[in-house]
Structure 1
Amino acid sequence: MRKQSAVVARILKLGTLISTFGFIGSTLIQIFARFLLESAPSWTEEAARFFFIYAICFAAGLAMKDNYYVYLDLVYNKLKESQKKILDLAISFFNLILFLVLGIYAIPFVMMAVTEKSPSLRMSMSLAFASIVVMALSVGFYAFLSLLKKLRKHQ
């Protein structure tokens, strides 16, 4: 499982980097055009939006992998150790279920948008909506690994 996790992490890092640089690049083109040209190209705003969405969706899996999400531990710290173990397992389990359900329901959503085109870039909107599937699969994958790790630890 470690090998698969490392491959998924590399893909997510690469996707995050490419999306972030695409976002920065399209935003810089728009800034340059607004100040130095007669008019800014209409596609830069839409491209920046697509790149931003994908950067967030790729990075969401990495945040789950490295446990970077914010936790509210006011109540958690007051629990007994046995209750903390149960809560940790429940959180991992429900994260997995949540992102599996999200992924399953996102696929028909993506399929419905195949014929829809974005206004400026004229790209299929299913490309934008596929980011939901990317996020659901990556976060779900790392939620599954987290659940397995916690199950092994608590046996």
Structure 2
Amino acid sequence: MRNVFAALMSAVLTLCRYGTIAAFSVLIAVVAIQVLGRIPGFPSPSWTEEVARFALVYLVAFSCGIAVLRSELVNVDLFVAPLPASARRIVDRIVDLIILGFSIAIIPGAYDYVVGSIGERARSIDIPMITIYVVTLIIPMALAFFSLARLLGFAQPSPASHGELV
């Protein structure tokens, strides 16, 4: 069973990584178009503002689960850092349980929100808004899945510290 979950986690993690890269690439391209649009004679379409917002939201949706898995989503270092390693592990598990609980509690409302958006269309790019609103479902599902993965012992180490602690 552990191997099946590990394979599932690997697939979801790969999807989230590629989704993060794709959303970030779209955001970079759209912002580049907006910046170049400041040059006289270079067009800056009106849809770039809306696409930039959508890309940013998707960037958060795909990367928040990865952040949970690597213990980088939310951490109060002033509280956790001075604790002994065993106490830090306990606090981390409590935080994982809280994230899992809140995420599961949010999923039904997020689903209702997505279903309620059927038929709406984006103003400037004329796409169904359900493609955007589905993010409200992706975020709690990713948070729940990856916090469950952490609880089951699949946490990944954080990258090297950037000197956040003083």
> Which TM-score band (shorter chain)?
0.7 to 0.9
TM-score by length of 1: 0.84
Distance 1:83 1:32 in 2: 52
Report the counterpart of residue 126 of structure 1 in structure 2. Answer: 130
Question: How much has 1:73 moved relative to structure 2?
Answer: 3.9
Provide Cα deviations, 1:52-103, integer angstroms capped at 9, x if missing partner: 1101110101111111124214444666887656543322111101111222
Q: 1:145 aligns with which of 123, 144, 149?
A: 149
Q: Percent identity?
A: 24
Name the structure where helix makes up a greater proportion of residues.
1
Q: Distance in 2 between matches of 1:78 and 1:21?
A: 38
Which aligned pairs between 1:63-82 and structure 2 lie closer than 5 A?
A: 63-76=67-80
Distance in 1 (CA, whole Å) between partners of 2:63 and 2:92 is: 23
Deviation at 1:148, TM superposition (A): 2.3
Change (3 A) 1:44 1:84: closer
Given the alignment, which residue of 54, 59, 65 partners 2:63?
A: 59
Instruction: Report the Cα distance in structure 1 between the residues aligned to 2:42 and 2:96, rounded to whole angstroms.
Output: 53
Q: Between Structure 1 and Structure 2, how many residues are aligned?
A: 150
User: What RMSD over aligned residues (CA atoms) do the two structures have, in Å?
Assistant: 2.3
Say if 2:97 and 2:147, in contact at 8 Å, map to a contact too. Answer: yes
**Residues 105-124 of structure 1: matches in 2 within 5 Å?**
105-124=109-128
Q: Which runs of 5+ in 1 are unaligned?
A: 151-155
Instruction: Report the alpha carbon displacement of residue 118 of structure 1 after superposing the two structures with TM.
Output: 1.3
Deviates more, 1:119-128 or 1:9-18: 119-128
Letter in 1 for 2:38: R
1:17 aligns with 2:18: no
Distance of 1:66 and 1:82 partners within structure 2: 18
1:37 corresponds in structure 2 to: 41
